[in-house]
C-alpha cells in the first residue's frame, strides 16, 4: 500500500546571467544572456522499496 508520507512536493526557481564578449559593428557591447527557470513537481520514494519516481513541470 502506498504511504502518502512518501510523496514530497517541491518547487525550484533559478536565474542565470552570462556576459557576452565582443562588440557589434558600431562598437556597442553585446547584451548579456539572461534567463529564469521555474520547476515544480512531486517526488515519490517509499521507505519499504528501493525505487524512486518523480513528475515535474518546468519552463
23 within some domain: no
Number of domains in the chain: 1
| Residue 54 belongs to a domain | yes
Residues of the domain holding 12: 5-18+32-58
Residue 24 forms part of a structural domain? no
User: pLDDT tens across 8-32, in order?
Assistant: 999 999 999 999 999 999 999 999 9
How many whole angstroms separate alpha carbon 10 and alpha carbon 56? 9
What are 31-51's pLDDT values in tens digits? 999 999 999 999 999 888 889
| 44 part of a folded domain | yes
Domain assignment present for 27: no
- Residue 9 in domain: yes
- Cα-based torsion angle of the residue sequence 16, 37, 12, 48 in order, rounded to the nearest 10 degrees: -120
Residue 3 has pLDDT above 60, yes or no: no
Q: Does residue 50 form part of some domain? A: yes
Amino acid at each position: 500500500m502506498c504511504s502518502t508520507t512518501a510523496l514530497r512536493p517541491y518547487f525550484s526557481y533559478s536565474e542565470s546571467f552570462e556576459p557576452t564578449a565582443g562588440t557589434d559593428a558600431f562598437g556597442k557591447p553585446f547584451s548579456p544572456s539572461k534567463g529564469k527557470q521555474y520547476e515544480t513537481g512531486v517526488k515519490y520514494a517509499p521507505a519499504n522499496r528501493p525505487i524512486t519516481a518523480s513528475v515535474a513541470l518546468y519552463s
